[in-house]
Amino acid sequence: MATKVILGVIGSDAHVVGITILEQALEANGFDVVNLGVQTSQEEFVEAAKEHDAEAVLVSSLYGHAKQDCEGFPQKLAEADVDVVTYIGGNLAVGQDDFEETERFFRDLGFDRVFDSETDPEDAIAALQADLDQRSSEDEREQITAA
């Protein structure tokens, strides 16, 4: 069974090209993608992740307002008891001169990984597969310990 991934552009952002490319790359690598499209609310991401029993939520934003759009997002996932890998990528902040600062901001919010708009989709997919493999190994160890 293919890994289910939720993908979308958060907030009022209407940039669709990036997630279309990412969707195609994910599907070519064997992922089952639910593409929520553009102008997706936090609640829509949470509902889709829960409904589809997703293993990952990938958030895109190119218009520079992701800091405002994502405030409280990982907490909403936790409150809904949705335990997924969370990624965000794109042009995340207006005047994003220091990506390390932007990355730190989103990591502090609770995102597992943060990518800039120049990231090759294959690099993001490799990271996602590694994170999912690690999570799967940790789950297996917990099951063995509990038994």
Q: Which residues have CB under 8 Å from 89's CB, separation 6+?
A: 18, 58, 59, 60, 61, 114, 115, 116, 117, 119, 124
Q: What is the pLDDT of residues 19-67, one digit of tens each?
A: 999 999 999 999 999 999 999 999 999 999 999 999 999 999 999 999 9
Q: What is the pLDDT of residues 69-81, one digit of tens each?
A: 999 999 999 999 9
At the top level of CATH, the class of 4-146 is: alpha beta
Are 31 and 5 in contact, with CB atoms under 8 Å apart? yes
| Domain residue spans of the chain | 4-146
Residue 13 appears among annotated catalytic residues = yes
pTM for the complete prediction?
0.92
